[in-house]
Copies of this chain bind each other. A is one copy, B any other.
Amino acid sequence: MPAPRPSGRAADALRPVILEAGAARHAEGSCRIRLGHTEVLCTASVETRVPPFLRGKGEGWINAEYGMLPRATHTRGEREAARGKQSGRTQEIQRLIARSLRAVVDRRAMGEMAVTIDCDVLTADGGTRCAAITGAWVALHQAFEHCVLKNVIKRNPLRDQVAGVSCGIWKGEPVLDLDYAEDSAAETDGNFVLAAKGGIVELQGTAEGAPFSEDHFLRLLALARQGTEQLFAAQRRAVHL
């Protein structure tokens, strides 16, 4: 029998998830996601022009930025604006968020329009990048609906849902949705960004200590599928689908 997880959850148990669409007053789309103690505010800001490399191509663009409030964490982290640059981790995460969303958008249907996704972590307790993707999809959906209402576009260009979840090997056992304590102790750490229709959008697996086996990785992927099913349902409820 496997050792109980620090969180007391079953190996395949997701933390309670709450998606609150429209949480930011000024943004075209927004969602505050709570996944256990992790809390991320996601906004989608629409601009009616695209970056230079896309001008005149009739396609839209989606970009993302990610930040963490200095005291979102157990000990205060340095404010990136004060330090004068974003860390490698921040840049890696914001590239991942943007790619993940672009994979489920029909960019031709957007026309020449850009959406900037901002994901700001208010409280961090593990899984912030995956929670950001899950919440950002809701913010993006809301922003696109807003554009349809305003007759900027004819239909919502989202082709699929996308959500992220982290899994890992903890004391030799694959477990779903690592919180901070579990993540710090995990031997292998994976981030899975999956689409509701069954496709894989992004996979990342990292050996924290020793290399891991293909079998273990497949078990993590299976857990991730199970977890994202619950996230997809929560997204649909949040946008009234």
Residues of A within 8 A of B (CB): 24-27, 30, 37, 41, 43, 45, 47, 65, 67, 69-76, 79-92, 94-95, 99, 103-104, 116, 118, 120, 122-123, 125, 160, 190, 194-195, 197-207, 209-214, 217, 221
Is A211 a contact partner of B70 (Cβ separation < 8 A)?
A: no
List B contacts of A45 (CB < 8 A): 70-71, 75-76
List B contacts of A205 (CB < 8 A): 200, 202-204
Q: How many copies does the complex hold?
A: 6
Closest to A70 in B: B118
> How far is B69's CA from A70's CA once the two chains are assembled, in angstroms?
12
Given contacts A81-B90, A104-B211, 9 further A-B contacts (CB under 8 A): A25-B37, A26-B72, A26-B123, A80-B81, A84-B84, A85-B85, A199-B213, A202-B204, A202-B206
List B contacts of A74 (CB < 8 A): 26
Sample 10 A-B pairs with CB under 8 A, ordered by A number.
Answer: A24-B72, A26-B123, A43-B69, A70-B116, A80-B81, A99-B206, A104-B211, A195-B211, A200-B211, A202-B204
> How far is B118's CA from A75's CA once the two chains are assembled, in angstroms?
13
Is A123 a contact partner of B25 (Cβ separation < 8 A)?
A: yes
* A205-B203, A207-B201 known; A94 vs B103 contact (CB < 8 Å): no
Is B82 a contact partner of A86 (Cβ separation < 8 A)?
A: yes
CB distance from A31 to the nearest CB of B (A): 12
Most buried by B among A81, A87, A198, A213: A81
Is A118 a contact partner of B26 (Cβ separation < 8 A)?
A: no
Is B200 a contact partner of A203 (Cβ separation < 8 A)?
A: no
> How far is B79's CA from A203's CA once the two chains are assembled, in angstroms?
28
Is A94 a contact partner of B88 (Cβ separation < 8 A)?
A: yes
Is A92 a contact partner of B90 (Cβ separation < 8 A)?
A: no
